[in-house]
């Protein structure tokens, strides 16, 4: 039986692809990159979330903690396999800090990944889609490309090396993916779906103007068993999540979002929208060649004549697209 496996990424995540190599997603250590624009970013919590009912080895998967969830209709949790509306479900949360994660599919290796771009004329990019359905946001260009912004989107090679006894200070966790397809996802907040952004630095002309998503999706169709391995880089027990067979789809969530709200005094100095722009500024610290200009995203208008919706209380934290 063929199964569809999906991993949904949100937060400070750097997608690294190219050279027919397996992809990596770096969960950025926000404090390890140092200050951005004179501001220290809040600590982030790199985590993997899955329904325990989706695992064949739930008891031995050793989640960091387990919570009970009562998913409402249309919520993100409601899409986790095994959940029923109004019925509590056990949700596992695995802390990924200091670990490497490998998605292992029996009999598959060395295929690289596909980067999804719709056939000609079928994407609204750079404008936001007219609808909020998943298919409309699949174009990976909704994830900002560091190569388009700086002319050279190559990642610092030291951040994607193997064999260290400790992860680089700028990386909280590394996820390895071979095969499958990367594409954009529907933004987590409705206000993000209706916004249009420009990337500019120091009052200069914008380098890029486009709609953005803060959600990245990897998917794979396979008939083979799938195991997720979480291995501490410095050594220690490896946790294994074996996806249950006989299930048509599996959806896993990986997030790297602020671990806590900013203290009240910080809000007087930096707005939520400015903080979102500074979050994006952390990606420039990951490049092989540090650019002189570091364009940051700023909302300039609402797309397609929609009614304006503020971003108060929300921090836009989109992934970034890099190359080897």
Per residue in 4-31, pLDDT tens? 899 999 999 999 999 888 999 999 999 9
Q: Quick check: is 299 in a domain?
A: no
The answer as to whether 145 is a domain residue is no
Decide if 205 is inside a domain. Answer: no
- Residues 6 or more apart in contact with residue 105 via CB below 8 angstroms: 178, 179, 220, 222, 224, 225, 226
**Residues in CB range of 188: below 8 A, 6 or more apart:** 10, 76, 214, 215
Q: Count other Cβ atoms within 10 Å, centred on residue 121.
A: 5
Q: Predicted confidence band at 95 (pLDDT cuts at 50, 70, 90)?
A: very high
Classify 40 in phi/psi space as left (phi over 0), alpha (psi -120 to 50) or beta.
Answer: beta
C-alpha span between 140 and 200 (Å, rounded): 21
The residue with tokens 């982030």 is: 44
Q: Is 74 exposed, middle or buried (0-12, 13-18, 19+ CB in 10 A)?
A: exposed
Least trusted range by pLDDT, from 46-55, 227-236, 253-262, 283-292: 253-262
Distance, in Å, from the CA atom of 291 to the CA atom of 127, rounded to the nearest integer, reads 27
- Total domains, the chain: 1
**Residue span of the structural domain in which 227 resides:** 3-117+150-184+215-289
Structural domain includes residue 44: yes
Asked whether residue 32 is assigned to any structural domain, the reply reads yes
The pLDDT of residue 198:
93
pLDDT digits over 193-249, tens only? 888 899 998 778 888 999 999 999 999 998 888 999 999 999 999 999 999 987 778
Asked if residue 319 is part of any domain, the answer here is no
In a domain, 70, yes or no: yes
Whether 60 is covered by a domain: the verdict is: yes
Q: How far apart are the two ends of the chain, measured CA to CA in Å?
A: 35
């Amino acid at each position: 039986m063929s199964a569809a496996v999906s991993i949904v990424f949100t937060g400070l995540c750097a997608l690294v692809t190219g050279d027919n190599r397996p992809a990596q997603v770096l969960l950025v250590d926000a404090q390890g990159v140092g200050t951005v624009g004179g501001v220290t970013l809040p600590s982030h919590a790199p985590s993997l979330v899955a329904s325990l009912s989706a695992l064949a080895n739930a008891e031995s998967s050793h989640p960091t903690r387990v919570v009970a969830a009562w998913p409402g209709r249309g919520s993100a949790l409601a899409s986790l396999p095994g959940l029923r509306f109004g019925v509590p479900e056990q949700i596992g949360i695995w802390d990924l800090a200091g670990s490497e994660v490998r998605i292992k599919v029996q009999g598959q290796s060395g295929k690289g990944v596909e980067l999804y771009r719709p056939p000609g004329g079928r994407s609204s990019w750079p404008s936001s889609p007219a609808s909020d359905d998943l298919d409309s946001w699949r174009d990976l260009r909704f994830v900002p490309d560091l190569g388009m912004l700086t002319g050279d989107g190559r990642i610092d090679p030291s951040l994607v090396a193997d064999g260290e006894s400790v992860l680089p200070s700028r990386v909280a966790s590394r996820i390895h993916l071979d095969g499958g397809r990367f594409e954009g996802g529907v933004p987590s907040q409705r206000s993000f779906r209706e916004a249009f952004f420009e990337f500019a630095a120091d009052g200069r002309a914008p380098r890029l103007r486009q709609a953005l998503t803060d959600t990245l999706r990897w998917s794979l169709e396979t008939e083979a068993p799938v195991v997720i391995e979480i291995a501490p880089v410095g050594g220690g027990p490896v946790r294994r999540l074996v996806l249950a067979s006989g299930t048509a789809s599996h959806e896993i969530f990986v997030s790297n979002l602020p671990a806590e709200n900013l203290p009240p005094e910080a809000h007087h100095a930096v707005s939520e929208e400015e903080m979102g722009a500074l979050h994006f500024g952390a990606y420039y610290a990951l490049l092989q060649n540090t650019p002189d200009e570091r364009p940051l995203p700023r909302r300039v208008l609402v797309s397609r004549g929609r009614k304006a919706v503020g971003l108060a209380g929300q921090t836009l934290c989109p992934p970034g697209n890099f190359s080897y």
